[in-house]
């Protein structure tokens, strides 16, 4: 699931031993040379995203260093393009625009012609369903370890290592194309949300990170560890949101500032699944692959997906193991549930984007405390 190489692993190890750029409130000003590199990289990433959106392979290839040295990075970009187009067709929608910006917490000149850049790329997507006028938006925030090479007076991307939110499972390429969508959901389907559930959603929207739309200036909550350099931060983030709702921590599920970390149930997708399954704090009301949870049944006339409500959780299962956790925070105009997550930061992203026909899903309804909470009171 992660496009990793030794360069990225070394960088992640470095980041875990210093204050995270996601938790910092300010950054050291860039030098003139660093500003030039950031401007060049910003132009390259914008061209890459626009080429992916338009299907223009010539413009896409022009982003990467000519020759075979950058073939892996170009292959990854083409996989993103293929998945986005396949998913859009299957879901009967069109992605019409993407606005791109980035932060560059670490720029290292290996030589004047070779520059390593750790960048946090924010992508703001616009989409609409076929036959429907309203436009919708979702945001992605992705951490990249780039190697740029200057040739002929301009920079090219030589290598790009990252966790790809548009193609989570590259080990089985033939499975990447999603299943076709069922009949459109009824956008007017009622979704009652408990006050404490609203508090969890408000926390998720505030601290979801680098995805456009997230609050807190695109930064994680600095009162918690950032586990992106240690396997992923998705479940740590979900646990924070659950705690912000007033759900009391336990011996098995807790985070200790004094000890500087969370338990397995707090930080690990499989650990949280096991904890919730053994507690009375949440119930699985549906499970299965995409077709199973979207197919209308007597119990779920809109499919189980139509019963998801803000504050519910989704566990994403690959080869029998929970590898990711997301929180439902809203629905779009078609009634499709939207999620916030960490690792690949997501803000109001359609719940199945980036997953494929082999993925299994667990839909959890959380039993939030029956308290009249003010979401703005939760600063943690």
DSSP per position, 135-154? -EEEEEEEEEEEEEEEETTE
Q: Which helix H or strand E contains 325, and what residues bound it?
A: strand 321-331
Q: What is the CATH topology of the domain spanning 2-175?
A: Nuclear Transport Factor 2; Chain: A, (3.10.450)
Q: What is the CATH topology of the domain spanning 195-377?
A: endopeptidase fold (from Nostoc punctiforme) (3.90.1720)
Instruction: Report residue 371's pLDDT band, with 50, 70 and 90 as the boundaries.
Output: low
- Which tops the pLDDT comparison, 167 or 24? 167
Least confident of 68-72, 193-197, 203-207, 243-247: 193-197
pLDDT at 133: 81
Q: Which helix H or strand E contains 71, and what residues bound it?
A: helix 71-90
CA-nearest of 230, 294, 234 to 270 is: 234
pLDDT at 132: 84
CA pair distance 41, 27, nearest whole angstrom: 18
Taking all residues of the chain, what is their mean pLDDT, rounded to a whole number?
Answer: 87
In the predicted model, what is the mean pLDDT of residues 7-36? 54
CA pair distance 337, 201, nearest whole angstrom: 13
**Whether residue 24 has pLDDT greater than 70:** no
Instruction: Report residue 14's pLDDT band, with 50, 70 and 90 as the boundaries.
Output: very low
Least confident of 177-181, 333-337, 339-343: 177-181
Instruction: Report residue 175's pLDDT band, with 50, 70 and 90 as the boundaries.
Output: low
- Token pair recorded at residue 346: 């997501």
pLDDT at 169: 54
Q: Count CB-CB contacts under 10 A for residue 68.
A: 8
DSSP 8-state symbol, 64: B
Instruction: Report residue 332's pLDDT band, with 50, 70 and 90 as the boundaries.
Output: very high
In the predicted model, what is the mean pLDDT of residues 315-343? 95
CA pair distance 42, 104, nearest whole angstrom: 10
Domain boundaries, the chain: 2-175, 195-377
CA-nearest of 190, 349, 351, 367 to 284 is: 367
């Amino acid at each position: 699931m992660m496009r990793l190489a030794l360069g990225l692993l070394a960088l992640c190890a470095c980041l875990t031993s210093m204050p995270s750029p996601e938790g910092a409130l300010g950054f050291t000003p860039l030098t003139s040379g660093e500003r030039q590199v950031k401007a060049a990289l910003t132009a390259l990433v914008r061209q890459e995203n626009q080429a992916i959106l338009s299907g223009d392979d010539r413009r896409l290839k022009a982003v990467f260093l000519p020759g075979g040295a950058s073939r892996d990075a170009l292959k990854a970009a083409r996989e993103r393009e293929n998945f986005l187009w396949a998913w859009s067709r299957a879901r009967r929608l069109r992605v019409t625009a993407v606005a791109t910006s980035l932060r560059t917490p670490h720029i290292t000149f290996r030589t004047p012609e070779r520059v390593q850049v750790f960048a946090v790329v924010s992508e703001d997507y616009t989409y609409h369903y076929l036959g429907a006028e309203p436009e919708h938006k979702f945001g992605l925030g992705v951490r990249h370890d780039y190697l740029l090479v200057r040739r002929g007076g301009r920079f090219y991307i030589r290598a790009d290592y990252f966790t790809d939110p548009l193609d989570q499972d590259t080990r089985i390429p033939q499975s990447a194309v999603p299943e076709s969508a069922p009949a459109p959901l009824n956008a007017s389907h009622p979704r009652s949300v408990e006050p404490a559930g609203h508090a969890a959603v408000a926390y998720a929207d505030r601290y979801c990170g680098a995805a456009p739309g997230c609050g807190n200036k695109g930064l994680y909550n600095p009162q918690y560890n950032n586990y992106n350099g240690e396997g992923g931060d998705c479940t740590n983030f979900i646990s924070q949101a659950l705690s912000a709702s007033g759900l009391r921590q336990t011996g098995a599920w807790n985070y200790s500032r004094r000890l500087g970390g969370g338990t397995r149930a707090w930080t690990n997708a499989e650990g949280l699944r096991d904890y919730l399954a053994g507690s009375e704090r949440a119930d699985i009301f549906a499970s299965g692959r995409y077709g199973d949870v979207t197919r209308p049944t007597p119990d779920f006339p809109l499919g189980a997906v139509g019963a998801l409500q803000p504050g519910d959780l989704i566990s994403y299962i690959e080869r029998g193991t929970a590898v990711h956790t997301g929180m439902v925070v809203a629905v779009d105009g078609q009634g499709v549930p939207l999620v916030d997550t960490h690792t690949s930061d997501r803000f109001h992203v359609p719940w199945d984007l980036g997953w494929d026909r082999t993925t299994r899903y667990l839909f959890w309804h959380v039993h939030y405390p029956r308290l009249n909470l003010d979401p703005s009171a939760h600063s943690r």
